[in-house]
Chain A
């Protein structure tokens, strides 16, 4: 069982790695988006591995179902006048830019990894799966304010998006 879990972890890690690589390196934004979707599925698999199936399904529903479709719309609606939709322009990336970006990505991750490797608390055996009812009780009980606030934030974001869209049409 232990080895099976490690094998599944390795598979999901490979999915995440390959997807993230494609997401940050592909010149074509549609391919980058496909990489992001691959990563999202890998993370959902890790949620399954941690016996949190609700989180995994929400990950697939919200991220793969909604957010990536939004990003796809953004790619398709921002095509340059002469160019192909989704191509990142600007010619080859300067080497300095890549090196600096590598530094900015590696440095925080390396510092945090060092902290985790030295200071991580003992890992408990996996807790029993949380029944969905408990989550609902928490959401409507002690955390009802957060629940309501996130609805307000979503409403404000939707209203803001609609207002921005109207302004665009008026100025055109």
Chain B
């Protein structure tokens, strides 16, 4: 297998694990961890494509950098939302957060 395929398979592994965790986890923080796994897989695939194909190297690496920035912003917002949910309902279990209007 060529290096490109190997790196993309590693990225796919991260995607699969992330999707599995996102659907099987009950707590919101566990789901956030799974989303970070998937975002990492996306970054790995982007950099692999940029480094090992004729595509623009700068574009791929900067794209990954922007993905990392978005992940940081997303983690900040999710932290605040989880805190609000935990304060209001006393739990961060996604199965028990079913009220649409508190």
**Interface residues in chain A, defined as those with a beta carbon under 8 Å from any beta carbon in chain B:** 9, 12-13, 16-17, 20-21, 23-24, 29, 32-33, 36, 39-40, 43, 46-47, 50-52, 54-55, 58-59, 62-63, 66-67, 70-71, 73-75, 77-78, 80-81, 88-90, 93, 97-98, 100-102, 104-106, 108-109, 112-113, 116-117, 120-124, 126-127, 130, 134-135, 138-139, 143, 146, 150, 153-154, 156-158, 160-162, 164-165, 167-168, 171-172
Contacts and interface: CB of A to CB of B under 8 A. Distances in A.
A46 B51 CA distance: 12
A153 B73 contact: yes
14 contacts: A20-B14, A24-B33, A55-B65, A71-B36, A88-B27, A90-B93, A90-B95, A105-B20, A106-B20, A123-B53, A130-B57, A154-B69, A162-B80, A172-B87
B52 A123 contact: yes
Contact of B83 (A39, A43, A78, A100): A78
B36 A36 contact: yes
Nearest to A108: B19
B73 A154 contact: yes
B59 to A, nearest CB: 8
A82 B80 CA distance: 22
A16 B9 CA distance: 12
Question: Interface extent on B, as a size class?
Answer: 35 or more
Q: Chain B at the A interface: mostly helix, strand, loop or mixed?
A: helix
Contacts of A12: 10
Q: Chain A at the B interface: mostly helix, strand, loop or mixed?
A: helix
A140 B19 CA distance: 35
A157 B20 contact: no
A124 B27 CA distance: 43
Contacts of A98: 24
Nearest to B49: A121
A67 B72 contact: yes
Contacts of B78: 74
Given A67-B75, A153-B70, A75 B29 contact: yes
B16 A106 contact: yes
A29 to B, nearest CB: 6
Contacts of B59: 138
B23 interface: yes
B94 to A, nearest CB: 10
